[in-house]
Structure 1
Amino acid sequence: MTFLMLGGLEVRNGEGRLIPIPRLKQRQLLVALLLKANTPASFEYLTDALWGEEPPASAEQNLKTYVHTLRRLLSPDAPRSAPIETQANTYLVTLGEEDLDLLAFREHIRRGRGTAQDHRAEAAHHHYQRALDLWRGDPFPNARGSRVLNDAAACLGEERLTALEEFSEIRIGLERYAEAVPDLRAAAGANPTRERLWGQLMLALHGAGDRAAALHAYERLAKAVMERTGLEPSPTLRDLHRRIISSTEVTRPVSPSGPERSAGTSVTAGNVPLPRQLPRDPGGFVGRAEELVRLRSLLSPWDGGLPHHVVAITGPPGAGKSALAIRAAHAVRDRFPDGQLYANLHGATPGLRPLEPLEVLGRFLRALGVAPQAVPTDVDEAAALWRSLLDGRNLLVVLDDAVDLPQVRPLLSVPEGNTVLVNSRRTFALVDDCVHVPIGRLRHVEATTMLAKLAGAERTGRDPEATAHLVELCGGLPLAVAVAGARLANRPRWEVADLVERLRDERRRLRELEAGDIAVRSSLGVSYDLLTGSADHLDREAARALRALGVLRVPDVTPHVVGALLDVPAEEAERALERLADGHLVEADGAGRYRLHDLVRLFASEQALHRETRKALDEMLNRALEFYISAVCLAAKILQHPRYPRWTSAGVTVDVTPLPLISPDGAHEWLEHERVALVAAASQAMAAAEERTARLGVALAFAFYWFLYYSGASSDLFLISRQTLETGRRLYDRDIKANAHNYVAIALEMNNRAAEAVPHLQRQLHLCRQLSDPHGEQKALGSLAVIYNYQERHEEVLRCAEEQLRVSKAIGHRSGEHYAMAYIGLAHHRLGRLDQALAVLNDALDKIRKDDEFRSYHEAIVLEKLGEVHVDRGDPASAKACYENALTCVRAAKANIAEPYLLLGLARASRLLGEIDEAADHLARSVAGAQAMGIKDLDRQLAEEQAALREARGAEAAPVRSGVMTP
């Protein structure tokens, strides 16, 4: 269906036939819904639109009946398919610009303004022409009657007139004078005192060669202005008139300026009451104690000094900036004896355009006693008069909900003693001497108190766990908490847990956080729409970045990751992220990382699904995954972690330029910072339906698996390894399954479940032999040797390690050979063959130092086992040297998980050498490391060494329990 309202209301079906809407109330309902297209329309709003301030007692039932009837009129065969959706207590019509002429008009105007600012006049002309061609007459004359609809029609008429003026300036700039004259003549005739129109008409007529008509137009304007105001036209129009008379160059478009005033004439009336314009102090205000104290110190200094002249409260959508500003203003109102001025600038009010600076100045000047006819119509003149009137006064000016700095800049330069308190989603970094008071999420206790105040303390107290969960789901965002409280207050039979259950589903969470006209989604939507509708390329790129952030579900990102998502350089992505940070749609920290509030992430995901194709979304995610994989592999190479040959690629190739990582410290730091994001990205990808995405997720998990192992992240390791196995099964990929079985086994062993690990390794070994994969086979054998060692099955350790050595030699895999030799030596040691163990391990050490690209990792393994042999041979000095060298190796490889084991060996060797204090220090650090990484298999050995140390010292000490040594 197509809906037309820029003229008489019409609805046409897909074949272009008119769908009759016979009754006035049905037409009024439809217009009211169309005015709120894509925004939920509340019962209160629709009631006002249909009946005004005196609705009938049956209004609610009548409204439901009208909606039902309207659905049947629009879609007789399937009323439920009509584009009117019921959401809680609201109704929503979802339409695109091709479905509604009003949306198409506004979109063309937005594009026209953007191209005009880019100095593409012909393109701007095209968009304005298409926009104005959509008008067929006055808006919906067949559906008016209530104040709401009459006012809306008037506002649309003003939008059309403003668009015509902007279009006329473009036409005049293109010297299309004759084309401009008919539209301007008609519009000026209908608006006899609108100076901008008349000035444009004069220019067009003169440019078209009709000088006499241009002069006559001025005479008509002058007569109308004199009759209505007793004044002459503005100096700009009078100057244009003189230049037309003298045939001076007059092709410059006209901007209106203020009425002329005689020098020395006062523009203010006497006995003007002091302005007291602050809205009511918000009674339900909770929290923000620290911010209020800071605001009071700025607006009313404790030492009696002058207040700060500009204070800006900034924060994300829904953070409660307006409530905080009004509460702070009331708290200091006595400090400003000359009054308080207030204006809601509608920077984030759905459906309302932001106020222009001149409108705000006009309101304030009139409030200060300036006669309406004396208010300048030029911004600079009005700002100058504003400063003059404030000189010597003490006024507090509250500018609520500013869209950006240009909207308020003319009002900010106030004389000493006056203060402007402004709140905005944008940061006012360019304002001189402006103090910023940023606000974000409520503290948990504040949010809980707010919820209890709205929904009832008894109710929230009945289930404190559900209350805490509800606050968590709202993310501490005051708007979300307020909406949740309002929903509970309106539904007395609901328990807190009922709303929690509804909010658990991310797909409906934003829909549930709506109460009447107040909604988290629409609040975020205003900030987003300002970016998408901006003429600034960077704003539009920021909107695209926000959508991209909704694609990748990780806790935080860097510019490199966002650059990969958007397929742009990291520097360009960073500029877009900083613009989002300025608008408080992302949170930034000093380390170049950016994160989204959970509710903003859900909104971003919705916008991504709405604006991008499925293919584009998959490509975005895949680029980010490829970036992560390339960076992890580079970091692993720098750190000499075992590289991941072809059998760990999960069937995908990645050819992406990774991060500029150079040093081991830099590589390890990057991995540490990205660990949580890597796990989240791999998990998200493996759950995806698209096969390449799932395979990239597996490849990423395989790539950073050993980093998780080295870091001792056993829980992450177990979860991600299980998911790789499930994905391999889903994709019917035996290569993935084989490697996944290995990683599941290692994760089980780390979680002290070695017995469960053996079947996985046996399954891997079977699969690798089926696939003729010797690399995987030797890996499975090596891992089996490790598990059998934990089970003290030393003959089987020897058997598996010797078989691994054989397979590795056959394929020329040096690292596999050296790893196998380490466990052959260990098995001989455990079986009491110390000389054989020593010979094998020394041979392995020599080979590693000559030919092993992962020398640090494998050298540490062999040195640890050599240390144990030297201890049992009665050579603690050699053992200590081995442990010290091994520690150097694992620290170079950042293999943190090995340190507690080596420190324990070092403690034992030091004790045997009589270095008791040194031994105690090593043992304490071993205990601390084991406790930090949750290593339980050292408990017994740590307790034994503690007992031996006590005996050596001849002193009593507390025992070691569960990896914790107490004094």
Structure 2
Amino acid sequence: MTGQPVQLRLIGPVQLAEQGRVLDVGPPQRQAVLAALAADAGTPVPVELLVDRVWGERPPDRARTALYAHVSRLRRVLARLAAPVRLDRRNGAYLLGIDRDRVDLHRFHRLLDQAKNPRCADDRRVLLLREALANWCGEPMAGVPGTWAAGLRRGTEPVLIGAAALWAQAELRLGHAAAVIDRLSDLIGRYPLAEPLVAAFMRALSAVGRQVEALQCYATTRDRLREELGAEPGSDLRDLHLAILRAGPDRPPTASVATTVRPAWPVPDPTQRPIPRQLPSLGAGFAGRVRELTAIEAAFAAAAYGGEAAVVAINGRGGVGCSALAIRAAHRVADRFPDGQLYVNLRGGGAGGQRERLIPVLHRFLRTLGVSLPARTGGIEEAAGMYHLATAGRRLLVVVDNARAAVDVRPLLPADPGCGAIVTSRRALVGLDGATHLHLEPLSEPEALDMLRQLLGARRVAAEPDAVAEVARWCGYLPLALRAAAARFAARPRWPLAELARRLADDRRRLDVLDLTELSMRHCLAGSFRDLSASADAKDHAAAAVFTRLARYDRDDLSSSDAAVHLCLPVTEAEALLERLVDARLLDSPAPGRFRMPHLLRLYALEQPHPVTDPAR
């Protein structure tokens, strides 16, 4: 981080340094507070999110008081800098006012992105990666307690290892094998199972005529993989080992062994089979979800080392942004799946035992993977079998968007170790054994304001802060509603945002304002309701009737007994129907026996015909 007067280090022990002088930040918990702020440097971090990052899901009773004390002491430390760094409180959030380039983790990612550019020459790539890796002096946030810090470590270390392997490859192409041996000797001691580093190290040894040591390195790695993971080396390492054996210990290294360098993660020969790149492009205006992105990267860290296939299942009610999170996360982890990425949007179809609808999806996947289909194809079992055979030995990422049930997802998941999948759905797909389940809630107010700032422009938002806060509130802090509201007014740059807030405040117009062809809250909410009202299950029909009746109940929050009285049902029956609505994401349950209908859902329910079905029958 040459030339930066202030450095905030997260790659290694958490440190605040200025011109080579390291300041004492304080105990590990205070380091956790600083790291939690630095992870989103320049962006407000809500107090609730800070508490969660520092103390986890079960914070102590006086966690907020402890947080305020840590912030106060951090301000004193920051004030001692020659160029003081601000730590401000804004709308229930804290903002660390430091240039992101002065935080080593953010600077690392920027340099790595530049180095990955295919147009970047090797000499330039080497310089970028040397700088990116210069401060890597141990595990990220070493000594910082908590599950958030542990998740960030698990997600960051594979990226660091991949960057080191990318650097080694560029150095080898430039003929700098000795530099690679010197640096990787230390790294492999810390990460002995990181096959990309082992492969680069073996190539470097072979390049200087030390084939015997390269073969011994392979044997040591293979033994450790068997002992610690019960796994064999990946195909890239096995192929390299075979190439060195064929060259022989007394022969000079050949170009295929010494200088043919592969990307950071093993990849197949592109001339032999296609590599699909089906991920949708990243949309503008993404905010928040730091904890979820970190959790997803941590879940896939094992896949990067060739472990079991990792599956992440994201669920949440319509409009909360499950698809946007899945696509964002898929792009972030795509480098770990060099055999390609497959994507399908099921649009909620295929549930209820109609798995045959998945056959066209499987056939499309197979064609994308270069498999010629027979003239006559069988049922779902045959198609799924062909798909699993085609994905064997590959490292693929599969994104299944808008699924309805676990039974519809299983045939699309590759089972080969090292593969991964991200699945989104309205309901929690508890039938996906071994999956990492993430439930999405609406954005916090600071996150929603940040999203509107990105979509409408900082100047326009700054000119009407009160109106923007009202817009976010009437949108229920839902990303889809925020996008629709922003799109409605983006084409009207001369209109004041107060007019948008005024229209959204009108219950009779709110859903109309948020109803655009491509971004429709009404259409989004209709999907969840239709799943119940069109179901063959009588209890689903009853729950749909309860949904429309509860919308006419003039209380936002109610208990099971309140609902039973309003519905003229026994408490146990009423609660069972309410729980069914919670599962369908048409009600919230903030606590056991308590239920709440968000206002956008209430407005949609009021538009539906009054139920004829009596839920008591």
What TM-score does the superposition give when structure 1 sets the normalisation length?
0.34
C-alpha contact 1:298 1:307 (8 A) present in aligned 2 = no
C-alpha contact 1:309 1:414 (8 A) present in aligned 2 = no
Please state how far the C-alpha of 1:348 moved relative to its aligned partner: 7.9
Taking a change above 3 Å as real, the CA distance of residues 537 and 391 of structure 1, as seen in their structure-2 partners, is: same
Please state how far the C-alpha of 1:593 moved relative to its aligned partner: 1.4
Taking a change above 3 Å as real, the CA distance of residues 370 and 403 of structure 1, as seen in their structure-2 partners, is: same
Paired letter, 1:363: R
1:570 aligns with 2:582: no
C-alpha contact 2:548 2:605 (8 A) present in aligned 1 = yes
Taking a change above 3 Å as real, the CA distance of residues 430 and 570 of structure 1, as seen in their structure-2 partners, is: farther
C-alpha contact 1:555 1:595 (8 A) present in aligned 2 = yes
Structure 2 counterparts to residues 53-72 of structure 1, below 5 A = none
Distance in 1 between the 2:376 and 2:320 partners?
36
Structure 2 counterparts to residues 419-430 of structure 1, below 5 A = 419-430=420-431
Structure 2 counterparts to residues 95-106 of structure 1, below 5 A = none
Give the corresponding residue for 2:551. 550
Give the corresponding residue for 2:480. 479
Give the corresponding residue for 1:468. 469
Q: Residues 107-143 of structure 1: CA distance to partner in whole angstroms, max 9, x if unpaired?
A: xxxxxxxxxxxxxxxxxxxxxxxxxxxxxxxxxxxxx
C-alpha contact 2:557 2:596 (8 A) present in aligned 1 = yes
SS in 2 for 1:330: helix
Paired letter, 2:392: D
Please state how far the C-alpha of 1:456 moved relative to its aligned partner: 1.9
Give the corresponding residue for 1:500. 501
Taking a change above 3 Å as real, the CA distance of residues 297 and 393 of structure 1, as seen in their structure-2 partners, is: same
1:611 aligns with 2:610: yes
SS in 1 for 2:443: coil
Report how many aligned residue pairs link the two structures.
344
Distance in 2 between the 1:563 and 1:524 partners?
25
Distance in 1 between the 2:603 and 2:521 partners?
11
C-alpha contact 1:345 1:355 (8 A) present in aligned 2 = no
C-alpha contact 1:375 1:382 (8 A) present in aligned 2 = no
Give the corresponding residue for 1:435. 436
Give aligned-pair identity as a percent: 42
Structure 2 counterparts to residues 21-40 of structure 1, below 5 A = none
SS in 1 for 2:557: coil
1:596 aligns with 2:597: yes
Please state how far the C-alpha of 1:496 moved relative to its aligned partner: 0.9
Give the corresponding residue for 1:416. 417
SS in 2 for 1:594: strand
C-alpha contact 1:344 1:401 (8 A) present in aligned 2 = yes
C-alpha contact 1:451 1:484 (8 A) present in aligned 2 = no
Give the corresponding residue for 1:727. none
Taking a change above 3 Å as real, the CA distance of residues 563 and 409 of structure 1, as seen in their structure-2 partners, is: farther
1:362 aligns with 2:363: yes
Paired letter, 2:537: D
C-alpha contact 1:539 1:579 (8 A) present in aligned 2 = yes
Distance in 2 between the 1:309 and 1:494 partners?
48
Distance in 1 between the 2:509 and 2:307 partners?
50
Q: Residues 740-761 of structure 1: CA distance to partner in whole angstroms, max 9, x if unpaired?
A: xxxxxxxxxxxxxxxxxxxxxx
SS in 2 for 1:506: coil
Distance in 2 between the 1:355 and 1:341 partners?
20
Please state how far the C-alpha of 1:498 moved relative to its aligned partner: 0.3
C-alpha contact 2:400 2:423 (8 A) present in aligned 1 = yes
SS in 2 for 1:484: helix
SS in 1 for 2:361: helix
Taking a change above 3 Å as real, the CA distance of residues 406 and 338 of structure 1, as seen in their structure-2 partners, is: same
Please state how far the C-alpha of 1:552 moved relative to its aligned partner: 1.0
C-alpha contact 1:354 1:403 (8 A) present in aligned 2 = no
Paired letter, 2:465: P
Paired letter, 2:464: D
Q: Residues 663-696 of structure 1: CA distance to partner in whole angstroms, max 9, x if unpaired?
A: xxxxxxxxxxxxxxxxxxxxxxxxxxxxxxxxxx
Give the corresponding residue for 1:886. none
Distance in 1 between the 2:347 and 2:411 partners?
17
Please state how far the C-alpha of 1:538 moved relative to its aligned partner: 2.3
Give the corresponding residue for 2:523. 522
1:376 aligns with 2:380: no
C-alpha contact 2:285 2:454 (8 A) present in aligned 1 = yes
Taking a change above 3 Å as real, the CA distance of residues 596 and 515 of structure 1, as seen in their structure-2 partners, is: same
C-alpha contact 1:278 1:341 (8 A) present in aligned 2 = yes
Please state how far the C-alpha of 1:590 moved relative to its aligned partner: 4.1
Taking a change above 3 Å as real, the CA distance of residues 456 and 283 of structure 1, as seen in their structure-2 partners, is: closer
Please state how far the C-alpha of 1:373 moved relative to its aligned partner: 2.5
C-alpha contact 2:559 2:595 (8 A) present in aligned 1 = yes
Q: CA RMSD in A?
A: 2.8
Please state how far the C-alpha of 1:600 moved relative to its aligned partner: 0.9
Taking a change above 3 Å as real, the CA distance of residues 586 and 484 of structure 1, as seen in their structure-2 partners, is: same
Taking a change above 3 Å as real, the CA distance of residues 602 and 496 of structure 1, as seen in their structure-2 partners, is: same
Which 4+ residue blocks in structure 1 deviate beyond 4 angstroms? 301-305
Taking a change above 3 Å as real, the CA distance of residues 390 and 374 of structure 1, as seen in their structure-2 partners, is: farther
Distance in 1 between the 2:531 and 2:388 partners?
30
C-alpha contact 1:557 1:594 (8 A) present in aligned 2 = yes
Taking a change above 3 Å as real, the CA distance of residues 399 and 303 of structure 1, as seen in their structure-2 partners, is: closer
Distance in 1 between the 2:480 and 2:296 partners?
21
SS in 2 for 1:394: coil
Please state how far the C-alpha of 1:445 moved relative to its aligned partner: 1.0
Taking a change above 3 Å as real, the CA distance of residues 309 and 376 of structure 1, as seen in their structure-2 partners, is: farther
SS in 1 for 2:401: strand
Taking a change above 3 Å as real, the CA distance of residues 606 and 511 of structure 1, as seen in their structure-2 partners, is: same
Please state how far the C-alpha of 1:307 moved relative to its aligned partner: 6.1
Choose between structure 1 and 2 for higher RCO, CA contacts under 8 A separated by at least 6 residues: 2
Q: Which has the higher helix share?
A: 1
Paired letter, 2:599: D
Distance in 1 between the 2:519 and 2:356 partners?
21
Please state how far the C-alpha of 1:395 moved relative to its aligned partner: 0.8
Q: Residues 255-275 of structure 1: CA distance to partner in whole angstroms, max 9, x if unpaired?
A: xxxxxxxxxxxxxx9933111
Paired letter, 2:493: P
Higher gyration radius (CA): 1
Higher mean C-alpha deviation, range 555-564 or range 380-389: 555-564
Q: Residues 882-921 of structure 1: CA distance to partner in whole angstroms, max 9, x if unpaired?
A: xxxxxxxxxxxxxxxxxxxxxxxxxxxxxxxxxxxxxxxx
C-alpha contact 1:427 1:583 (8 A) present in aligned 2 = no
Paired letter, 1:593: R
Structure 2 counterparts to residues 697-846 of structure 1, below 5 A = none
Taking a change above 3 Å as real, the CA distance of residues 341 and 491 of structure 1, as seen in their structure-2 partners, is: same
C-alpha contact 1:538 1:575 (8 A) present in aligned 2 = no
Give the corresponding residue for 2:300. 299
Please state how far the C-alpha of 1:301 moved relative to its aligned partner: 4.5
Taking a change above 3 Å as real, the CA distance of residues 544 and 413 of structure 1, as seen in their structure-2 partners, is: farther
Paired letter, 1:523: C
Structure 2 counterparts to residues 154-233 of structure 1, below 5 A = none
Structure 2 counterparts to residues 934-945 of structure 1, below 5 A = none
Q: Residues 356-409 of structure 1: CA distance to partner in whole angstroms, max 9, x if unpaired?
A: 222221211222222133673301121222222222221110001112333223
Please state how far the C-alpha of 1:578 moved relative to its aligned partner: 2.2
Distance in 1 between the 2:534 and 2:448 partners?
33
Taking a change above 3 Å as real, the CA distance of residues 308 and 279 of structure 1, as seen in their structure-2 partners, is: same
Give the corresponding residue for 1:286. 287
Paired letter, 2:548: R
C-alpha contact 1:347 1:354 (8 A) present in aligned 2 = no
C-alpha contact 1:314 1:437 (8 A) present in aligned 2 = yes
Q: Which has the higher strand share?
A: 2
Taking a change above 3 Å as real, the CA distance of residues 281 and 290 of structure 1, as seen in their structure-2 partners, is: same
Please state how far the C-alpha of 1:302 moved relative to its aligned partner: 9.9
Distance in 2 between the 1:311 and 1:514 partners?
31
Please state how far the C-alpha of 1:412 moved relative to its aligned partner: 3.5
Structure 2 counterparts to residues 257-336 of structure 1, below 5 A = 271-301=272-302, 304=305, 306=307, 309-336=310-337
Structure 2 counterparts to residues 624-643 of structure 1, below 5 A = none
C-alpha contact 2:334 2:341 (8 A) present in aligned 1 = yes
Please state how far the C-alpha of 1:304 moved relative to its aligned partner: 4.2
Q: Residues 753-786 of structure 1: CA distance to partner in whole angstroms, max 9, x if unpaired?
A: xxxxxxxxxxxxxxxxxxxxxxxxxxxxxxxxxx
Distance in 1 between the 2:544 and 2:407 partners?
20
Higher mean C-alpha deviation, range 354-363 or range 434-443: 354-363
Return 5+ residue gaps in structure 2 as ranges: 1-269
1:398 aligns with 2:399: yes
Distance in 2 between the 1:561 and 1:304 partners?
53
SS in 1 for 2:558: coil
Distance in 1 between the 2:541 and 2:429 partners?
20
Taking a change above 3 Å as real, the CA distance of residues 577 and 346 of structure 1, as seen in their structure-2 partners, is: same
Distance in 1 between the 2:289 and 2:314 partners?
12
SS in 2 for 1:381: helix
Q: Residues 251-293 of structure 1: CA distance to partner in whole angstroms, max 9, x if unpaired?
A: xxxxxxxxxxxxxxxxxx9933111111112233222111111
